[in-house]
Amino acid sequence: MTEQKKNTPVLDKRSSRRTFIKNSGLTVGGVVLGGALGSLLLKDGKTTTNETNVHSSTAPSNPNVALMYFTPEQYRITEAASERIFPKDENGPGAKELLVAYYIDHQLSGAWGMGSKEYTSGPFFPGEDTQGYQGRQNRQQIFEIGLKGIQDHSLKTYDKSFIELSEDEQDAILTEFADGNVELKGVSSAHFFGVLRTATIEGAYADPLYGGNANMEGWKMKNFPGHQMSFLDIIEKEFTKIEPMALNSQHKH
């Protein structure tokens, strides 16, 4: 299997976007977006070099790496923010390499994004903390509001796009959101951050069939064996390391 090279398509994607933006001569209305996209080009230049060293360019492309819901800018902010929530470290890859932002994008496009199995009838009243979420917004709308909030707050505080900020600056912005200190219209910043945090962890550890947990790297770090038929032979033993398997192995069985 060569599926461990799954990250390469991210690179392809970036390259093609860069090319697209350059070739199309896309002019972006407004200083805010222009600044964001301009710096994005610069930043990509750097990371591309790093990632080229890590990944072979001969791997097949992963067709799962494409957007179902996010705009490119929403994707970028989500990728950067989720990486701060679940960063790359000595344990292994972070959200970015695990393709968590693609996982979130794909989830947002479906039932979870639209709250299809949730009670969304009115009337709406602000509830007590013990009564759970009572807002009008579904998760698609919560992300739209929240991601724009992150970008606006970054520009206001640092005069830079969120993805251009240093890690410490990004953490400072996200902490403000987590603590509920940022005023958003329609949803609290703490609620948005909570959804983003939960979705990031899901993207790191859900079966790879959902687009995240690339190459089962999330499970490998966590020593979670994924889909196994039986633990009868180890259930009475001390910790035993087992190579993970995804549901794909069962489906192709």
Partner 1 sequence: MVTKLPKVDVVTIGVGWSAGIIAAELTKQGKKVVGLERGKERKTEDYFMAHDELRYAVRHEMMQDLSKETITFRNNDKMRSLPMRSYGSFLLGVGVGGSGAHWNGQNFRFLPYDFELRSKTIEKYGLDKIPADMTIQDWGITYDEIEPYYDQYEKMAGISGEDNPLGGRRSNPFPTPAMKKTEAMRLFDEATKKMGYHPYVQPSANLSENYTNPDGISRVACQYCGFCERFGCEYGAKAEPGVTVLPVAKATGNFEVRPHSEVRRILYSNGKATGVLYTDLTTGEEFEQSADVVVLSGYVFTNVRLLLLSGIGRPYDPTTGTGVIGKNYAYQIRKGRATGFFDDHKFNNFAGAGGLGMIIDDFNGDNFDHTDLDFIHGGMIILGQTGQRPIANNQVPSGTKSWGKDFKDASLKYTNASLTVSGEGASMAYKQHFLDLDPTYNDAFGDPLVRITFDFEEQDRQLTKYLAEKCEGILKEMGANHVDVSGDLGPYNVAEYQSTHNTGGVIMGADPETSAVNNYSQMWDVENLFVVGASSFPQNAGYNPTGTVGALSYRAAEGILKYMEKGGSLI
Query: Shortest Cβ distance from residue 112 to partner 1 (Å)?
Result: 7
Q: Are 215 and 176 in contact (CB under 8 A)?
A: no
Residue (11 or 142) nearer to partner 1, CB = 142
Q: Tokens 């929530």, residue?
A: 85
Query: Shortest Cβ distance from residue 52 to partner 1 (Å)?
Result: 26
156 Cβ contact list (under 8 Å, min separation 6): none
Which of 125, 102, 5, 124 has the alpha carbon at shortest distance from 60?
5
Query: Shortest Cβ distance from residue 111 to partner 1 (Å)?
Result: 8
Q: What is the per-residue binding string for partner 1 in 81-120, x denoting contact by CB under 8 A?
A: ---xxxx-x-x--x----------------xx--xxxxxx
Q: Are 84 and 171 in contact (CB under 8 A)?
A: yes
Residue (11 or 143) nearer to partner 1, CB = 143
Residue (40 or 193) nearer to partner 1, CB = 193
Q: What is the per-residue binding string for partner 1 in 163-202, x denoting contact by CB under 8 A?
A: --------x--x---x------------------x--xxx
Q: From the list 23, 24, 27, 130, which residue makes contact with partner 1 (rule: CB under 8 A)?
A: 130
Does 234 bind partner 1 (CB under 8 A)? Our answer is yes
245 Cβ contact list (under 8 Å, min separation 6): 225, 226, 227, 228
Residue 169 amino acid letter:
E
Q: From the list 46, 128, 156, 159, which residue makes contact with partner 1 (rule: CB under 8 A)?
A: 128
HSE-up of residue 32 (Cα within 13 Å, Cβ side) = 11
Q: From the list 1, 31, 42, 229, which residue makes contact with partner 1 (rule: CB under 8 A)?
A: 229
Binding site for partner 1 (CB under 8 A): 84-87, 89, 91, 94, 111-112, 115-121, 123, 125, 127-134, 171, 174, 178, 197, 200-202, 204-207, 209-210, 218-219, 221-232, 234-240, 247, 250-251
